[in-house]
Amino acid sequence: EAGVTQFPSHSVIEKGQTVTLRCDPISGHDNLYWYRRVMGKEIKFLLHFVKESKQDESGMPNNRFLAERTGGTYSTLKVQPAELEDSGVYFCASSRGLQETQYFGPGTRLLVL
Question: Smaller CB distance to other proteins: residue 79 or 93?
Answer: 93
* Residue-by-residue DSSP string for 20-75: EEEEEPPTT--EEEEEEE-TT--EEEEEEEETTEEEE-TT--STTEEEE-GGGS-E
How many residues touch other proteins under the rule CB under 8 A: the total is 25
| Residue from 86, 89, 85 nearest 36 by CA | 89
Nearer residue to other proteins within complex by CB, 83 or 100: 100
Residues 30-49 that bind other proteins (CB under 8 A): 31, 33, 35, 41-45, 48
Rule CB under 8 A: which residues touch other proteins?
Answer: 31, 33, 35, 41-45, 48, 55-56, 59, 89, 91, 93, 98-104, 106-107, 109
